[in-house]
Amino acid sequence: MSSDNTARAFWVEAPGQGVIRTQPLAVPGPNEARVRTCYSAISRGTETLVFHGRVPESEHARMRAPFQEGDFPGPVKYGYSSVGVVEVGPRELEGRYVFCLHPHQDRYVAPAAMLIPLPDGLPAERAVLAANMETALNGLWDAAPRIGDRIAVIGAGVVGTLMAWLCRNIPGTRVELIDIDDSRKTLARALDIAFSTPAQAQGECDLVIHASGSQGGLQQALTLAGQEATIIEMSWFGAQSVSLPLGEAFHSRRLTLRASQVGTVSPSRAARRTHGERMTQALSLLEDDRLDILIDAESAFEALPETMARVTTEPGTLCHRIRYST
């Protein structure tokens, strides 16, 4: 356990090598709060690239997390999905569960404005999905699905599944969640989402959302998109190059391939939503017990160096939650 003036944090010392460091903990100043972390989560896609040193040099500045320390490829303290209790701070926050875009650390001090209180109906254990839901929400603001759309979501990871789950509530839509792993059918069924393997997927879609993080998935997105359709790219490939058959029907079908990135509020909402308001909405969308199925494993903070090495190399992981001592 940390003392009142120290904290323990997870650092990537070098590509593929993590360690827990003890570091000083500041005294909260005006408009700041001290938070005791209860849970955090590994954001598998991005943290895999960070942990293994695959963040392109051109993106080092843009990829910085709000409370990151150090620089890529390391040593660096990175992460952005932390849920805790405010121990000291403004009266309206003391004793409340909050979400913060903070790295894996057992206690920290942050500006009160960066701490988003959890809705009363959202358990702290599930709130670690907030960063994923924020990404899904922003992606759908970019995608702008409409009533009656035929929508394909390629990649049944956490973000892809959340986007399909949100889309299936739009009246008249045909939503299909697609993954090469046939076992994801159980996940889709639990969330009332239609599931297909790539060979079974239906084409002529109005909107295709790609979230598989694979070249093959993005290539299939081109084949499923109908005339004048839009493909939203949610995956981030880091330093990996991707080859696409743009010499086939891409031009004749007049397809649109558009990137979505959560670091910026979607242009369709940026004039009317702050980052904080977007996160508050994302948290409210998690108030459904069925979403617990997206958290498929949990381990102790003390084991995070070994856990990160394992989770970022094994396929099929959804949300891995980190539990802190209380």
9: helix, coil or strand?
Answer: strand
Residues 41, 46, 52, 56: what is their CA dihedral angle, to the nearest 10 degrees? Answer: -150
Q: Are 206 and 226 in contact (CB under 8 A)?
A: yes
306 in a structural domain: yes
Q: Are residues 53 and 108 in the same domain?
A: yes
CB atoms within 10 A of CB 75: 16
Say whether both 46 and 159 belong to one domain: no
121 & 155 share domain: no
Last residue of a domain, one of 259, 276, 299: 259
Q: Which pLDDT band holds residue 248 (cuts at 50, 70, 90)?
A: confident
- The domain tally of the chain equals 2
Residues 56 and 167 both lie in one domain: no
1 band by pLDDT with thresholds 50, 70 and 90: low
309 found inside a domain: yes
Indicate the pTM of the whole model. Answer: 0.95
Q: Is residue 265 part of a domain?
A: no
64 with 98, same domain: the answer is yes
Instruction: Report the percentage of the chain scoring pLDDT > 70.
Output: 99
Regarding whether 143 and 109 lie in a shared domain, the answer is no
> Can you say whether residue 32 is alpha, beta or left, with left for phi > 0 and alpha for psi between -120 and 50 degrees?
beta
Asked whether residue 266 is domain-assigned, the answer is: no
Give the helix/strand (H/E) hosting 298: strand 295-300
**Do 207 and 177 share a structural domain?**
yes
User: Is residue 248 a part of any domain in this protein?
Assistant: yes
Residue 145 is part of a domain; what is its CATH number? 3.40.50.720
DSSP 8-state code for residue 105 = B
Per-residue pLDDT tens digits for 127-140? 999 999 999 999 99
Domain boundary, last residue among 208, 240, 259: 259
Asked if residue 1 is part of any domain, the answer here is no
For every residue of 204-225, DSSP letters joined together read -EEEEEE-S-SHHHHHHHHHHE
In this predicted structure, what is the pLDDT of residue 325?
87
Mean pLDDT of all residues belonging to the chain: 96
| Residues 106 and 141 occupy one common structural domain | no
The yes-or-no verdict on residue 238 having pLDDT over 60 is: yes
Q: Is 150's pLDDT higher than 80?
A: yes
Backbone angles phi, psi at 272, to 5 degrees: -130, 0
Which of these three, 243, 259, 275, is where a domain ends? Answer: 259
Q: Is residue 150 part of a domain?
A: yes
Structural domain including 190 reads 132-259
DSSP string, 114-177: G-EEPPTTS-TTTGGGHHHHHHHHHHHHHH---TT-EEEEE--SHHHHHHHHHHTTSTT-EEEE
- Kindly indicate the confidence band of residue 88, based on its pLDDT and cuts at 50, 70 and 90: very high
In a domain, 141, yes or no: yes
Q: How far apart are CA 145 and CA 151, in angstroms?
A: 8
Both 252 and 149 in a single domain? yes
Q: How far apart are alpha carbons 14 and 238 in whole angstroms?
A: 17
Nearest to 112 by CA among 209, 213, 30, 10: 30
Say which CATH number the domain at 108 has.
3.90.180.10
- The amino acid occupying position 32 is E
The mean pLDDT of 14-30, rounded to a whole number, is 97
Per-residue pLDDT at 326 exceeds 70: no
User: Does residue 2 have a pLDDT over 90?
Assistant: no
